[in-house]
Chains A and B, each alone.
Chain A
Amino acid sequence: MKKFVLAFSLFTALALPAYAQARDVTFTTELQSYNGDGAYLALYLTDAAGEYQGTLWVSGKKSKYYKHLGGWARGSGLNPAEYDGLTGASVTSGRTLKITLNLDDSLIDNGYEVRVDSAVEDMRDIRADVVAPLTTDGSGKPVSGRGYVRSLTYDLQ
């Protein structure tokens, strides 16, 4: 009996994830033109109440500056496990960052929001520079930022 339970558990663990639907989502973050160093950005998901759910991407390599990405830093607890493999260089003024990620379908049309926190050295930190509900209707429609981000657009594929 024990062997059966073990085999069934293994089968479930290996087979079930294959049934979970996921799709590629491209996030395009266009920065304003400003006078300053490269911007640190955190793209992350929250629920409708603004509670942190997970990290999508962090631009900026020096983790000691991550605390300036206030909303994300608070939600993630700056736990490296939350952003391992999801970091790259900071993004300079006027440039556009494009990230394509594979996300679970359950994250779309379920009240989740994409948020971007931004910070530039010696300049203001902008918490929730952009807030965009993650919905099928919102795909392809730019959402304006209020800080260093000119706009965020996501495209569901």
Chain B
Amino acid sequence: MKTKPIVLSISLLLMSGTAMADDDCNDSVANWQPRENLREKLESEGWTVHRIKVDDGCYEVKGFDSNGVRAEASFAPASLMMMSWEREEADDDDQDPGKWSGKNGQDNARRQIPGNGIVKGRPTVTVE
């Protein structure tokens, strides 16, 4: 039996799990810097900070980054090092409901066929 490909696959799977888990911050609370420090640091770098909150042990920042891109990023609360950055999509979660509804209120849901076995075919979704 060829075990090499199996071992390789399992190793890759485990490695990817570790990489995903690293998004959380594990700084001791005693070492946390005030969020105002992060705000000042980011604004000096050109960010426009809308909000800073705590999520999964990280400071989570929403705003526009130094390139003017609307973004959500997380920072380690002790070192203020950036842990993750992602472009904040205009069609999700925030204040402008008109943007996340497509034509005639049709939701821009991902369009692949569901695979969980309960739902058959593609759902039709609208928001009114």
| B68: interface (CB < 8 Å) | no
- We find that the number of chain B residues with CB closer than 8 angstroms to chain A is 35
Q: Does A2 contact B (CB under 8 A)?
A: no
Chain B contact residues, CB within 8 Å of chain A: 23, 53, 55-56, 89, 91-95, 97, 100-101, 107-128
Q: A85 touching B127 by the CB < 8 A rule?
A: no
Among B97, B107, B117, B119, the one with the most A-chain Cβ atoms within 10 Å of its Cβ is B119
* Given A89-B91, A90-B93, residue A103 in contact with residue B119 (CB < 8 A): yes
The answer on a CB contact under 8 Å between B100 and A86 is no
Is A118 engaged at the interface, CB distance under 8 Å to the other chain?
A: no
Interface string of A84-105 (1 = CB under 8 A from B): 1111111110011111111110
Question: Could you write out 24 A-B pairs with CB less than 8 Å apart?
Answer: A38-B94, A54-B118, A57-B125, A60-B93, A61-B93, A64-B55, A64-B56, A84-B116, A85-B112, A85-B122, A86-B116, A86-B119, A87-B110, A88-B107, A88-B110, A89-B107, A90-B92, A91-B127, A95-B97, A95-B127, A98-B126, A100-B124, A102-B119, A121-B93
Other A-B contacts than A62-B93, A84-B110, 19 sampled, CB-CB below 8 A, are A37-B95, A38-B92, A38-B93, A38-B97, A38-B100, A55-B119, A56-B118, A87-B109, A89-B100, A90-B92, A95-B97, A97-B126, A97-B127, A98-B126, A99-B124, A101-B119, A102-B120, A102-B121, A103-B119
How near does chain A come to B87, taking the closest CB pair, in angstroms? Answer: 12
**Which A residues contact B (CB, under 8 angstroms)?**
22, 37-38, 45, 53-57, 60-62, 64, 81-92, 95-104, 107, 121-122
A98–B112 touching, CB < 8 Å: no
Most chain B beta carbons < 10 A, residue from A95, A101, A103: A101
B94: chain A residues within 8 A (beta carbon): 37-38
Asked if A61 and B119 make an inter-chain contact with CB atoms under 8 angstroms apart, the answer reads no
